[in-house]
Amino acid sequence: MARRPLIAGNWKMNGLLADSLADTLATLMRKKQDWPFEMVVCPPFTLLHYLGKTIAGSGIALGAQDCHIKESGAHTGDISPLMLKDVGCTYVILGHSERRMDHGEGDSLIMAKAKAALAAGLKVILCIGETEAERDSGKTLEVNQTQLKGSMPVEVEAADTDLVIAYEPVWAIGTGRTPTDREIQEVHAFIRKELIALIGTAADSVRLLYGGSMKPGNAGGILALPDVDGGLIGGASLKAEDFWAIAQQSPAL
């Protein structure tokens, strides 16, 4: 079945109100029509409201980079899925390797967050990926299998359309290094096979994104791979022109 490519920008901890990033992006995107792909931008929490207003009507969706498992309550410093919906988000990134490392997030917490986000009506971009040491010791597929099984909520009915998996080799994030196209396809085909085992035919419509040093110069080859349905883009999403140049290399449906 045809899966509409998703081009997602992860701004991480970058961007201030005074920056012109949001405005540049919105201006650029408003000029475009009839995209064969979907776009989402995930700024830090502090910019969600502003960016949501700036990109309204541009065709770009708004997403966040994390959420809590509860709707509200005594959780100092946390943001709930309901709050993300309230501010206009339709997506949330969960299980990013930087959260796994910086905040010690494990698979079971990530699964709980994914369940809470889906229950609140958000779409989830669930990240998995091996470290360099794991790849070097031949454990790439095993690590991705463990993370997928451990963090993906399989019983969710809307799993096929609301769940997106992002394969992000940790060693490729922000480093300028990427796996070869053949290595990316190998992992994506493996993830698709694992998804079929977990959720059956619904796996056919789950989009699998590649993330890690995706740039205008390498996006074409990666996005054309049969089991790659878009990208999760960090550094290059901070330049509106580069982000758009990557999106334009999505294959037509």
Q: Using CB under 6 A, which of 147, 213, 218, 250 touches ligand PGA?
A: 213
* 168 is annotated as an active-site residue: yes
The end-to-end CA distance of the chain, in Å, is 10
Can residue 214 be called a binding residue for ligand PGA (CB under 6 A)?
A: yes
CA distance 52 to 46: 11
CA distance 132 to 56: 39
CA distance 195 to 184: 16
Q: Using CB under 6 A, which of 174, 200, 217, 226 touches ligand PGA?
A: 174
Can residue 212 be called a binding residue for ligand PGA (CB under 6 A)?
A: yes
Can residue 168 be called a binding residue for ligand PGA (CB under 6 A)?
A: yes
Q: Between residue 219 and residue 248, which ones bind ligand PGA under the rule CB under 6 A? A: 232-236
The CB-of-57 to ligand PGA minimum distance in angstroms stands at 26
Question: And the tokens for 161?
Answer: 């359309």
Q: Using CB under 6 A, which of 6, 7, 10, 128 touches ligand PGA?
A: 10
User: Could you tell me the sign of the dihedral formed by the alpha carbons of 122, 123, 124, 125, in that order?
Assistant: negative
* 130 is annotated as an active-site residue: no
Can residue 94 be called a binding residue for ligand PGA (CB under 6 A)?
A: no
CA distance 87 to 46: 11
The CB-of-40 to ligand PGA minimum distance in angstroms stands at 12
Number of chain positions touching ligand PGA (CB under 6 A): 13
Q: What are phi and psi of 64, to 5 degrees?
A: -115, 175
| 60-64 and 6-10 beta bridge pairing | unpaired
Residue ranges in contact with ligand PGA by CB under 6 A:
10, 168, 173-174, 211-214, 232-236
